[in-house]
Structure formats: C-alpha cells, structure tokens
Amino acid sequence: MIWEKNVPPRTNIFVPSTWTLPSTPAQILIVDNDEDVLISLERVVEDQGFTTATAINYEQACRLLSQRTIGLLVLDDYLSDRDSIQVVDDLRCSDMVPPLVVVTYHRRPSQGEQARLQALGVSALINKLAHDELTRTVRAMLEP
C-alpha cells in the first residue's frame, strides 16, 4: 500500500520527510495475537539481523513500549480486543507510538481503513504472509 504525498503509487512504503531514524540499531516490536504468525514474523525479521521483541496483545505491547526504545512496530490488523486503527490511535494519544509502524493483514483493509491508518501515520501495509516484502520494507525503513 502506498501513501506518498502527491506521488503516484510505486512501493508499499510511505516515508514522510519528518521521520528521523534512531542512531543506534532499532529494536522491532512485533504484535500479533496468533502465536504461530508471531513466531514466524519474528524469525523472518531476526534472520535479517534485526533485534525483536514480541507481544500477543495490546497490554503487552504497551508495557514493552514504555520500557524500551522501539524504532519500528509491526502490528497485526486485528488483535483479540481491538483493531490496528484503535491500537495506533491509542498509542499516538499516549505518546508511545514508535516513529515507524507497519500493519500486517490477512484481509486487505478497505479504502476507509487505509485512509485512517495513513492519517494516523502508519508507514506501510503488508500482507502478513508476504515475508520477503516485509523484510525489504523493514530494511528500507531502518537502514541508512
């Protein structure tokens, strides 16, 4: 999903000019309520040399975000108790949202959901089974 301002779609990465990446390697927080998917995404990202933390629900994610410096959040589109729009909105309101957010999905979000996620600052939407696309996106976002 592309969200570049005034530019035709080319990739799945939206990169606002206001992003500043951390000077040290960023830890990636992966949040998914399906443990099998969570482990799979964790392995894929760690195989690319990134450090990860994982959470299976919103409460665990908030605890980790308050305790660690997280540079990128990989968030499932639907957790057990709330959807990704609610999660990103809540994190933004509490000033805990990381600088980069990727939402993974099984079902492509509607145009309205995409617009809301973009307005909340979500960086990219990626099918959670598209591991190559996820690793390319993460690498493009986190490496200089």
Q: pLDDT tens-digit profile of 2-31?
A: 444 333 333 444 444 344 444 445 799 999
Which of the listed CATH numbers 3.30.1490.20, 3.50.50.60, 3.40.50.2300, 3.40.50.10320 matches domain 27-142?
3.40.50.2300
Averaged confidence pLDDT in the chain:
85
Q: Which residue has the tokens 């309205």?
A: 112
pLDDT at 25: 58
DSSP 80-142: SS-BHHHHHHHHHHTT---SEEEEEESSPPPHHHHHHHHHTT--EEEETT-HHHHHHHHHHHH
pLDDT at 81: 84
pLDDT at 6: 38
pTM of the shown model: 0.81
pLDDT at 22: 43
pLDDT at 98: 92
Which parts of the chain sit beneath pLDDT 50? Answer: 1-24
What single-letter DSSP state applies at residue 26?
A: P
In this structure, the strands spanning 100-105 and 27-31 are unpaired
